[in-house]
A and B are shown apart, each in its own frame.
Chain A
Amino acid sequence: MRDIIRMIVVLTLIGAASGLTLSVIHRVTAGPIEYQTIKFVKEPAVKKVLSGYDNDPILDREKITVGTDPRGNPIELTVFPAKKGGQTFAVAVEGTGKGFHGAIGVMVGISKEGVILDIGITSHSETPGIGSRVTGVEYTDRYKGLPAKKGVTVDAISGATYSSKGVVAAVNEAVSTVATFREEIF
């Protein structure tokens, strides 16, 4: 009996100490991790979809609250503004859509006049060589210059219909976010 209690106490103590340490480390690294993800995942996409700005869209990023989750916590979305002379003339916003293998993240550049400037895929796990063709410029260029209104659509890539649908859904999500929060963004 004493042995069993000792085992339980020791394992509990080790587990608790481990949990405490990890939660502290998690807190300390949360900021740098967010920065690194933005720098290495979002920045290339932001640079691709925006052009002609004189500010740093990454540094000037803003968080807007786009709603609340079932628990009542605010859902935040990061907006990357492109400014010239202090005036925001376009933004890059990320949307997600369901592809063939999970979510596809798409950064969409939208001008103040309501035109899609360009799109860039930030994250996907589509089949290499098939669904992954949606990341190529031949496909993403199809979105250039389309009006940023509800129901954006382009021709899908044959053989990669689901991946194409995922990108379309993601673009529409970003477009509708910008339409809804126009006042806050520009």
Chain B
Amino acid sequence: MAATLREEFTKGFWRTIPPFRLVLGLCPTLAVTTSGINGLGMGLATTFVLVFSNLFVSLLRRFIPTQVRIASFIVIIASFVVIVELVMQAYFYPLFKILGIFIPLIVVNCIILGRAEAFASKNGPVLSLADGLGIGLGFTLSLFVLGLIRELLGAGTLLEIPVMWASFAPFAFMLKPPGAFVALGILLAFMNLISQIQARKG
């Protein structure tokens, strides 16, 4: 039990890290990662929704008839998204303004419905919590790293602190949508390289 719990929690960090290994949830991944903080905020909002939707879907899995499961999952997910939206607006207004339309769009993030359908509807609440938390934190980590890279190259700052040398001319291109694809592609290639090296050693 403890071993599977750990396994379900940690799989989201490398083996099935959502945007890189599954290449899912790309819309927020590419759109809001213009800085480390934005990526982190978006990731944590998604994690919150993922954890609670997994928990509730798992608790209600015997009660929901299979024919209407998708509709029920979406209602549960949408409720938590509205909660995140209201709480963010009330306590983190500047971040709410930046993320804007991408907060309500968490509803259609396929990672969340995917976990509800593929995992939480078949497993108990504790395992589902671990799964949601693991995948959510993996997603947050991906967005944070991608945001940091784009911020460093695109604006010459890390978490809004200037870190590059004085004559550094930022690649404004990295903050635009094509820059997001380029950064994502380079990260994917890098991760595949590490996996290959690991496979050769093993």
Contact = CB atoms under 8 A, between A and B. Distances in A.
Given A21-B79, A22-B82, A25-B86, A10 B65 contact: yes
A99 B83 CA distance: 32
Contacts of B165: none
Contact of B75 (A3, A14, A25, A36): A14
Interface string A95-136: 000000000000000000000000000000000000000000
A21 B90 CA distance: 17
A39 to B, nearest CB: 7
Contacts of B63: 10
A7 B67 contact: yes
Contacts, number: 53
B137 to A, nearest CB: 24
Interface stretch (A26-34, A85-93, A159-167): A26-34
A36 B93 contact: yes
B64 interface: yes
Contacts of B91: 32, 36
**Chain B: interface size category:** 20 to 34
Given A14-B76, A15-B75, A22-B82, A7 B65 contact: yes
Q: Which of B60, B90, B93, B97 has the most CB of A within 10 A?
A: B90
A43 to B, nearest CB: 11
Contact of A18 (B64, B75, B86, B87): B75
A37 interface: yes
B86 A7 contact: no
Contacts of A59: none
Contacts of B86: 25-26, 29, 33
Contacts of A22: 79, 82-83
**Majority-rule SS of A interface residues:** helix
A39 B82 CA distance: 22
Contacts of B68: 7, 10-11
Interface in B63-114: 63-65, 67-68, 71-72, 75-76, 78-79, 82-83, 86-87, 89-91, 93-94, 97
B90 A29 contact: yes
Given A6-B65, A22-B83, A29-B87, A39 B93 contact: yes
15 contacts: A3-B65, A7-B65, A10-B65, A10-B68, A14-B72, A14-B75, A14-B76, A22-B82, A25-B83, A26-B86, A29-B86, A29-B90, A36-B89, A39-B93, A40-B93
